[in-house]
A and B are shown apart, each in its own frame.
Chain A
């Protein structure tokens, strides 16, 4: 070996040692986020189940899309997405206008109500409606039946109309929050110029403000379509009984409803869904400049309000009615039925369901599993999200962009698809095959699906931490990993805890991943709630659900209280930025929520 090449080998070794940790991190990211998607695509063209040696085959391409049921499901998905989007974009825009730009009485209650509707996991929400308006024991039907001359079962939630209504409520909440920022950011001076030119307020809104909102509205339409195409929980609980099949449900059926599971067909359909959603997401990023996320908070600007005049009161009544139907009724129904002795029987309220449900061994196990998942997955995902954002800031633009792209991949993957892809990925690696059928694989799938949320929070949080704070720690003698824990993670703590809470809520509410990757002894509270409901044990199911929501609410309150206490005793600047940047980062801490409804 000549001297020059020895030198370059030595240099290469030094370089790789210097970047060793970083390379390891990037390789881990690729394995975690890219590998499952690759294996999913490979699986769609394989004849075997995950982990088995199969042959390459295009068969699934033909059989999957030739199947009448699948075609019907695709048609239903498109119909559902289109109708839900049309209605919810209209409603969300109207509500955002009323809450931000009009003098509607009580307009300040709209945003918190929307946040609540959005934050309550789909499963809980849908169950509330199911209890409220199913044709047999639905509370509303019972009330209506009390009226003289009314038909026995007027409302049937288990129908196209019911499904669309419930999905519209949730989708509206998401799109409302999405439109809130652009609606607030409207240029007041442009509007004033129009007013001065003699155009009245509402006309000014239509002619000046509306055009500047068009990109945001376009983004909202795409976001609504994505949510509609990915719909799973709502359809599972209230669509399936009415015979409404959609893409996600088909994927679920290929895996759970047929023996042996048709992995190729499920993967084929999943790949198609991912492609469509990826294209929609990409278009949405293009339209809205990466506003693929909803941000709550931010500074409200003093903009001119449009007077509603004689429409004030009627509109306020309509909004109140909407909020009642979308929020108060389902929650009320849940709470009520958890104390109701038998569905449809109105007598003395009872705590019996609570006693019964917590006496079940499998429920106790499920609580343990959920607690472990919510804690572990939440912490791990948030540490990763903050680390990825921190590392991204110190990388050259190209690797930083790639890293960010990897963390956003799961946006295009509904939970069900993530679960399937993770199965393919891990079962295909001999040493990791043992993870299948354990809580670990479920945890990994949940982590992958929650990464975009964590990465987004990580970005928002680390952007507030001056680069120099970390550099000062390095100069002071701490290495890169220690500096991250001493400074970045410690200063991210408020955002970290908020993000942990959000991921924990999402873990508790996730039904698709635990259903698909679960099994004996692998239940979570969500799957227990679903199973109890499927067995017709509505009382116990709602008791468990109400307890879960109660615990989540209490921890949210405790978290907020603790944060306030810490702030007042420590007098920490909330932005935790370095002094020179304090002026620039005047935005209050933002909470950013994943876009998928």
Chain B
């Protein structure tokens, strides 16, 4: 019922030559009950896409279909206003109405739908529905308070309760956690996913935070400059990025040019274009033709050990340690390797860290080893 289809959706802001294309021909299908994440850096068009689905922006071309009903088809003059789309939305700033109590905020969509004649429910049913929504987010005790008297996390929950109160077919989230501190974000992320599962609605969620996307999504669409860059499950995106852009966005630190050196069963044998390195076998990139191939390496997948510590057959290459920084979880090393700078991790055991003086280490020759996970071939 509530699957969402976007077909060749286009949206530009401004006019004529200084127009910027916010969405540039986007095709997406979001399945019913799916938790779908739009991921990308700011300005990639993800929020504009969400606002088009909500009816808060009008696309210039293409079509948007929600639950089998065409809600946007500008070429035929079709545009369904937001109030008739039957959606729930959580805004980045929560957008709670400061002159209404928590209960009034949560009841507002119910009353609006009742007035519009969609769901004649009666006062009792309405109250019960609001109570249910507030219970689901754990806010029963705060029903009579005004939003200004709530903490950021509580306000976020009110916004969520308001969005789900009228049991909309489709839930939209516009970076709902970006105004919260890190700890609260982790906790609310889990709650959000639980609640979406319980109510079972389709959800579209916009974020620029890759870890948030991985945690909540059934599927992720990575966007870049108004276009779809990659579509896949969290593990596909995280482990096998399709492009350098996606790889960089999901945390790959190093990109090493490589040549095809043959195949090894299903896998591709890649020879890094660095002097003295040995080839490595990886799954082939998603769409590879004749274009050059790169080896994407997370810093966690590049082990830096003291030179001579491992056999020549084990290590992939050698380099010179330039700098060491401590991040709290790892010691990161910057290595000079045949003119290219690489970032890797220093395994504490191999270096006697954290007791050894990390500052005294730079200047040493080191062995470099590549270890899955955290390696991907991209084209």
Contact = CB atoms under 8 A, between A and B. Distances in A.
Contacts of B108: 473, 476, 478, 486
A471 interface: yes
Contacts of B83: 474-479, 483
Nearest to B94: A579
B67 to A, nearest CB: 16
A18 B79 contact: yes
Interface residues of B, number: 42
B152 A579 contact: yes
B79 A468 contact: no
Given A474-B81, A475-B82, A572-B148, A11 B76 contact: yes
A486 to B, nearest CB: 8
A431 interface: no
Task: Indicate the member of A14, A471, A475, A578 with the most B CB atoms within 10 Å.
Answer: A475
Contacts of A487: 97
Interface string B56-78: 10000000000000000000111
Contacts of B155: 579
B95 A578 contact: yes
Nearest to A576: B98
Contacts of A474: 55-56, 81-83
Interface residues of A, number: 36
A477 B166 contact: yes
Nearest to A16: B77
B54 A580 contact: no
A476 B112 contact: yes
A479 B81 contact: yes
A466 B56 contact: no
Interface in B97-150: 97-99, 108-109, 112-113, 115-116, 118, 146-149
A253 interface: no
A468 B91 contact: yes
Contacts of A12: 77
B38 interface: no
A15 B162 CA distance: 31
B44 to A, nearest CB: 20
Nearest to B93: A580
Given A471-B91, A578-B93, A573 B98 contact: yes
Interface in B159-173: 162, 166, 172
A580 B149 contact: no
Contacts of B148: 571-573
Contact of A477 (B76, B77, B109): B109
Nearest to A398: B15
Nearest to A12: B77
A396 to B, nearest CB: 9
Contacts of B166: 476-477
B376 interface: no
Contacts of B196: none
A468 B47 CA distance: 13
A487 B100 CA distance: 10
Contacts of B99: 490-491, 572, 576
B81 A469 contact: no
Nearest to B75: A11
A285 to B, nearest CB: 25
A281 B81 CA distance: 40
Contacts of A477: 83-84, 86, 109, 112-113, 116, 118, 166
Contacts of B89: 471-472, 475
A309 interface: no
B317 interface: no
Nearest to A472: B95
A572 B89 CA distance: 24
B113 A471 contact: no
A570 interface: yes
Contacts of B76: 7, 11
B75 to A, nearest CB: 8
A398 to B, nearest CB: 9
Interface in A53-88: none
A581 B93 CA distance: 8
Contacts of B87: 475
B206 interface: no
B167 to A, nearest CB: 12
Interface centre among B76, B93, B152 (most CB of A within 10 A): B93
B93 A579 contact: yes
B91 A472 contact: yes
Contacts of B40: none
B211 interface: no
Given A473-B108, A570-B146, A573-B148, A466 B88 contact: no
Interface string A459-489: 0000000101101111111111011001100
B234 to A, nearest CB: 27
Contacts of B42: none
A482 B164 CA distance: 21
B369 interface: no
A491 B87 CA distance: 24
Contacts of A480: 81
Contacts of B78: 14
Nearest to A493: B99
A399 to B, nearest CB: 13
A571 B146 contact: yes
B161 to A, nearest CB: 12
Given A11-B76, A15-B77, A478 B112 contact: yes
Contacts of B93: 466, 468, 578-581
Interface of A: 7, 10-12, 14-15, 18, 466, 468-469, 471-480, 482-483, 486-487, 490-491, 570-573, 576-581
Given A476-B109, A572-B99, 5 more contacts: A477-B86, A480-B81, A482-B112, A577-B98, A579-B179
